[in-house]
Homo-oligomer: A and B are copies of this chain.
Amino acid sequence: MEIQIPTRNKVNFAPPRSFGTTLKSHLKETFFPDDPLRQFRNEKSGVGIVKKALQYFVPIFEWLPNYNLRLFRFDVLSGITITFLAIPQGISYAKLGSIPPIIGLYSSFVPPLIYAVFGNSKHLAVGTVAACSLIIGHTIGEKVSAVDDPTLYLNLVFTTTFFTGIFQTLMGLLRLGILVDFLSHSTITGFMGGTATLICFQQLKGIFGLKHFTTKTDVVSVIRAVLHYRDEWKWQSAVVGIIFLIFLQFTRFLEGIAIGRSFAIMNNEQVDGNKEIIAFGLMNIVGSFTSCYLTTGPFSKTAVNFNAGCKTAMSNVVMSICMMLTLLFLAPLFSYTPLVALSAIIASAMLGLINYEEIYHLFKVDKFDFLICMAAFFGVAFISMDYGLIMSIGLALLRALVYVARPATCRLGKIPDSNLFRDSEQYPGLTNVPGVLALQLGSPIYFANANYIRERIIRWVRDEEDISNAKDSVVEHVLLDLSGVTSIDTTGIETLIEIRKLLDAKNIKIAIINPRLEVMEKMIRSHFVDKIGKDSIFLSIEDAVESILFSTQKNYQVLV
């Protein structure tokens, strides 16, 4: 039988890129994954660059020049619509933070103007948020009583707003938006649900018409306070409150659908998170000087804005003007709003934030995500908001670290009548090349998983030998498929060297399959390539298998 030397695909052993090149590329991917300066690349003239830079940092310059009456008509309508939402929300959320209602209304007057200048989103509506209001009230309330010393309390609220603004602006400028990536969807769902639950319980004060209450926010303390002050219960208030709540709930399940649908579409809007947080920061810095407290872009208001057909940030300007008129002419009326109605409005809004379907979806698809969600939910509701958030983020990070520490590896087999090698657990019935054990490693190899990977590979070999012994054949070659290994550190390289030594002691040869760019560079720099030999590095498993079978004078085609 004639034996042909197998043609082998060439592996690229080019010298590693310089430290400067890789550092630049890493920094770019870490802090500028969205390539924000892309638009400047083709701009040659100085004036053009200045103009683009101005448009980039102050987005109003981008959309205002093309603004016209047709767009304005849409924005007026949506601006008026969100004002109708801003008034009850402003008053009731301010109540949550023990802040005078008028401050809540101010907060929908100045900040929207700032956002209209610096904001990126076309649909976002500026306003106060229940969770922030509650956490401000709770934190400052621990130090200063809003009843005994209202001036100091309010000054602290403004100071908090100011420093939050500074902090947000710095975060954006330093491109620390990456931190937000560590807030998982599950954490947010649980946190919102937990916060909504505890805010609902807080409303029992208003609904039962209680005079005394607890300053604590957790559900147990609140229920205890409600039961403790049962002499103060007013059944008339409770009946009105509950009827109003039921009425609001019915008129809201439609709204829920609208919110869901609009978010699906709004998500497609490309917004630079770091620029957005700078806009929020500026909005809060200016806000703190003009008697406003913490504002951001609440979900519900933004959804209403979108559904009302807003076209640009001009709708925020319209809301601001409407709010000014309200403050001038209608403000005195709002002091007569009954507490029980406010409580029912808040409770109704909050009930909409508990996303049962999503929680069930998490339970069905991923139990650990469900656990992360529940940690936030129950942590926030029964312990405290910060503690719940920390617990949930901690669990999520723990999982990220376990992913990192215990990457999935698998044993590859050949799909009959093809040249593909796939996971033999996932695809039962794959064929093996006798004497060859092909393993696929996933995720980067480094200090946190290097020990594990060594143990795991040794175990694969041992298990394979346990099976093979029966068939009177032993493992002669281990192929490590590194296609899924995007990077490696020095501990990882040391581990590969150790694995090679361990297998060498058992007379098993090792081959590296398809190392990626960064891995190859480190392998060259650390002289791993010299140690293992260029001949032991292949571009594909087939290449390696063919080369092995050729060297053992067997014909590949005959065997498989």
Which residue numbers of A lie inside 8 Å of B, CB to CB? 9, 12, 19, 23, 26, 29-30, 33-35, 38, 178, 180-187, 264, 267-268, 270, 273, 361-362, 364-369, 396-397, 399-408, 410, 415, 418-420, 422-423, 425-427, 442-444, 446-452, 455-456, 458-459, 462, 483-487, 489-491, 493-494, 498, 501-502, 505, 514, 516-518, 520, 522, 525-526, 539-540
Pairwise interchain contact B442-A485, C-beta atoms closer than 8 A: yes
Report the bound CA distance from A267 to B314 in whole Å. 68
Q: Which residues of B contact A187 (CB under 8 A)?
A: 447
Chain B residues in 8 Å Cβ range of A415: 9, 539
Q: Which residue from B402, B422, B484 sits with its C-beta under 8 Å from A442? A: B484
A374 CA to B30 CA, complexed, in Å: 23
Q: Is the contact region of chain A dominated by helix, strand, or loop, or is it mixed?
A: helix
Say whether A365 contacts B185, CB under 8 Å. Answer: no
Contact A448 B367 (CB under 8 A): no
**Chain B residues whose CB sits within 8 angstroms of the CB of A443 once the complex forms:** 442-444, 484, 486
Contact of A264 among B29, B184, B400, B501 (CB under 8 A): B501
State the oligomeric state as a number of copies.
2
A-B contact pairs, 18 of them (CB 8 A): A26-B406, A29-B406, A30-B402, A178-B405, A181-B449, A182-B447, A184-B447, A264-B501, A364-B526, A399-B489, A400-B401, A403-B404, A410-B516, A415-B539, A419-B419, A420-B540, A426-B520, A443-B443
> With A185-B491, A365-B526, A425-B517 given, is the CB distance from A420 to B9 under 8 Å?
yes
CA distance A501 to B296 in the complex (A): 27
Please name the residue on chain B nearest to A11 by beta carbon: B427
Complex contacts, A505 vs chain B, CB 8 Å: 268
The list of the 3 closest CB pairs from A to B, nearest first, reads A484-B484, A184-B447, A442-B486
Contacts A361-B490, A420-B539 given; does A447 touch B186 at CB 8 Å: yes
Evaluate whether A516 and B184 lie within 8 angstroms (CB atoms) in the complex, with A30-B402, A364-B525, A422-B539 already known. Answer: no
Say yes or no: A489 contacts B447, CB within 8 Å.
no
For residue A267, which residues in chain B have a CB less than 8 angstroms away from its CB?
498, 501
Cβ–Cβ contact A407 & B365, under 8 A: no
A5 to chain B, nearest CB (A): 16
Beta-carbon contact of A33 and B364 below 8 Å: no
Supplied contacts A12-B426, A366-B522, A403-B444, 18 more A-B pairs, CB within 8 Å: A33-B459, A34-B459, A181-B405, A181-B449, A181-B450, A184-B446, A185-B491, A186-B491, A267-B498, A362-B490, A364-B526, A365-B526, A396-B448, A400-B448, A407-B486, A426-B517, A442-B484, A443-B486
